[in-house]
């Protein structure tokens, strides 16, 4: 009688193994999305940031609300956190810079997305007015963005201000 049930006993472990394997595969396919590491979201976040740089390079930030959240935070280099809903100085600053410096351009050297963060290494070039006349600048600048639901919610930036000041004639060259 035990011989009669032996094939059935062999099938049960294989069914169990199959369903365990299938469950594991389904979990893996959804876990990257659940834990914020999906390849699609990384690329989408980088695309949002790339779109922002395209707007800046076209000197048209009228649709800034399409890439920035309504209450994004601009973390300045002088350790201030400016909330866009309370202070429009970031927007005013950008409009002024872009309007008065039509040759200003950002070249993205590299862009890396990890989870909700996007890091961008850029080189900014253009002709700017300085106390000693118009000067050409070429400076490295790093940006870090937090992107949520397709919108930038936070921005940090680091600019080589000493090199920029030198190029504009404000600091005597070494």
User: So where are the chain's domains?
Assistant: 1-35, 36-167
pLDDT confidence of residue 145: 97
- Residue 135's Cβ-count burial label (10 Å; 0-12, 13-18, 19+) is middle
Token pair of 78 as six digits: 């002088």
Architecture of domain 36-167: Roll (3.10)
Instruction: Write down the residue that tokens 């890396």 correspond to.
Output: 112
**Phi/psi of residue 79, nearest 5 degrees:** 70, 30
Chunked mean pLDDT (size 10), the chain, 174 residues: 52 51 49 47 86 94 91 87 76 84 93 96 88 84 96 92 80 54
pLDDT confidence of residue 19: 47
pLDDT confidence of residue 76: 84
Nearest one of 141, 143, 140 to 119, comparing CA atoms: 143
pLDDT confidence of residue 14: 54
pLDDT confidence of residue 53: 96
pLDDT confidence of residue 97: 84
């Amino acid at each position: 009688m035990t011989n009669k049930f032996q094939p059935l006993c062999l099938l049960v472990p294989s069914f169990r193994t199959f369903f365990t394997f299938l469950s594991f595969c389904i979990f893996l396919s959804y876990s990257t999305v659940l834990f914020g590491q999906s390849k699609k979201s990384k690329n989408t976040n980088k695309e949002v940031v790339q779109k922002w740089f395209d707007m800046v390079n076209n000197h048209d930030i009228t649709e800034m609300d399409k890439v920035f959240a309504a209450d994004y935070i601009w973390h300045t280099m002088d350790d201030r956190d400016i909330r866009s809903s309370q202070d429009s100085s970031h927007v005013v600053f950008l409009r002024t810079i872009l309007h008065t410096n039509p040759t200003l351009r950002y070249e993205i050297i590299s862009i890396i997305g990890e989870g909700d963060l996007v890091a961008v290494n850029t080189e900014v070039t253009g002709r700017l007015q300085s106390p000693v006349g118009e000067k050409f600048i070429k400076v490295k600048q790093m940006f870090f963005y937090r992107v949520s639901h397709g919108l930038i919610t936070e921005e940090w930036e680091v600019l080589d201000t000493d090199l920029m000041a030198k190029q504009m004639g404000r600091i005597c060259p070494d």
